[in-house]
Amino acid sequence: MELPISFKQRMERMLGSSYNNFEEALRLPAPVSIRVNSAKISATPNLSKVPWAGNAFYLPERPMFTLDPLLHAGCYYVQEASSMFLEQALKQTLDLSQPITALDLCGAPGGKSTHLASLLSADSLLVANEVIKSRASILAENVTKWGSGNAVVTNNDPRQFSRLPDFFDVMVVDAPCSGEGMFRKDPQAMNEWSEENVKLCAQRQQRILMDVWEALKPGGILIYSTCTWNELENEQNIAWLADQENSESIKLMLEPEWGIMPSQLQGIEGYRFYPHQVLGEGFFIAVLRKAGVPQEHGRSSRKKKYKLSVAGKKEKALVHDWLKESEKYEFLQWGEVISAIPANHFEALDELYQNMHVIYAGTEIAEVKGKKLKPMHSLALSQHLNKSKFSSVDLNLEQALKYLRKEDISLEGGGNDWLLLQYQGVPLGFAKQIGNRINNYYPKEWRIRMELPPELPETGLLG
């Protein structure tokens, strides 16, 4: 690994006598870590824990994740450990037991969005956004698999969030950056790095921050992060924003054994992750509190024209008991598709639909086919699925992987019914049994494309 000269010189100035350890760490394999979805699985792996995040673990080596059905079922997410420090930023600045409206602005592929979904209370609302359309689809897939049911996926440019003034209690901006912290994991990041690109990234980050700032409530929290180490994209950008908007930098508490390096610049408290000091990739994070006092004003209850279309009584009656605690949901219908959204966020969701490009919201429950209903794949993956309403079949590993490849599988018995297919008791999706034939309804765009090896692993990561 040949580091860019100007990058190396800067890091030598920043790190001093520990620079050699830093460069040596960049030559080591990147650590592998996962975060477990405790709403779907109670197993606790016998693995080393990520110290600053709950339900997060290091793996001794990188397995073939594609061959673990529990990954496809949303039981865990493969996420870089340093970025999981988001959990500390949230827990130390917010009362997570209260309803919170949160935005993950640069959400794809979904690591921070699914992490937020696990940390926020059930009556909170998460908006996960991605500006690039193709990446927004990947974000929607991962949010759907996580199955929290209180998330909305949008595909909007940051500047369009100015249509939602004082909307969010907390905004997470994991800004596009020069990628210095990813050099050992992604050699392409090193090939694309230049001082000029650093400057361009810093300017773009400033535009992003100012574009979304109006959407943060007075007194709200901004969590800003990058996977880079230079001050221009990190402390200097946050100092600039704090000065522009008269905002307060928030200091976080660290445990010494975590190895995280605090930094200070112009009154800004930042936190730096170096690979020779933490078991993780390069990362920076800082927290600002917006000036002002939060205003307790509900959204207008006056009659207005809603964009959301509520399902009729007949349609509601058909699906209402497919979710646990169904009284907490409002059922919507778009064309033939019935969805469930948290009832307490109807007004907020309508405002999102009025102003933003929403590509997924809540939980898609069923597709109406004449007098019949086809259960949607997202229902199978929901944390709130009422499994008792469906006939279920447990698959072995080979059957599960064939299902995930959208291949034909053989099951004993007969009949003409929808089956909830499971692996180790966790739902994977639906299939339709017609006599002794099974119609595979796994989403085509999500299917496993790799050929299955002759010998499959005996056990997955979680059992």
- The number of beta carbons lying within 10 Å of the beta carbon of residue 232 is 16
- pLDDT attached to residue 413: 76
For residue 69, being part of any structural domain is answered with no
- The number of beta carbons lying within 10 Å of the beta carbon of residue 326 is 17
Sign (positive or negative) of CA dihedral 458, 378, 148, 386: negative
- pLDDT attached to residue 298: 56
Angle at 417 between CA 425 and CA 430, to 5 degrees: 45
For residue 239, being part of any structural domain is answered with yes
For residue 333, being part of any structural domain is answered with no
CATH number reported for the structural domain that contains residue 25 in this entry: 3.40.50.150
The residues, any chain, with a CB within 8 Å of residue 28's CB and separated by 6 or more, are 184, 275
Separation of first and last alpha carbons in the chain: 37
Instruction: Report pLDDT digits (tens) over 256-273.
Output: 999 999 999 999 999 999
For residue 175, being part of any structural domain is answered with yes
Cα torsion through 423, 429, 433, 436, rounded to 10: -40
Catalytic residue among 75, 177, 201, 227: 227
Which residue ranges in the chain fall short of pLDDT 70?
Answer: 296-303, 459-460, 463
Structure tokens at 446: 């999500």
Q: Residue 107: helix, strand or coil by DSSP?
A: coil
For residue 371, being part of any structural domain is answered with no
Residue in the structure block whose two tokens are 């907020």 = 348
For residue 202, being part of any structural domain is answered with yes
pTM of the model: 0.96
Overall number of domains in the chain: 1
Distance CA 88, CA 251 (A): 11
- pLDDT attached to residue 348: 96
The residues, any chain, with a CB within 8 Å of residue 9's CB and separated by 6 or more, are none
How buried is 337 (Cβ within 10 angstroms: 0-12 exposed, 13-18 middle, 19+ buried)?
A: middle
Structure tokens at 415: 């009949």
Distance CA 431, CA 292 (A): 53
- Strand duo 329-334 + 283-289: pairing: unpaired
Domain range for 101 is: 5-30+79-289
Instruction: Report pLDDT digits (tens) over 69-82.
Output: 999 999 999 999 99
Distance CA 174, CA 108 (A): 10
Amino acid code (one letter) for 135: R
Among 371, 423, 370, 352, CA closest to 392? 423
Distance CA 262, CA 234 (A): 13
For residue 199, being part of any structural domain is answered with yes
* 227 catalytic per annotation: yes
For residue 389, being part of any structural domain is answered with no
- pLDDT attached to residue 300: 54
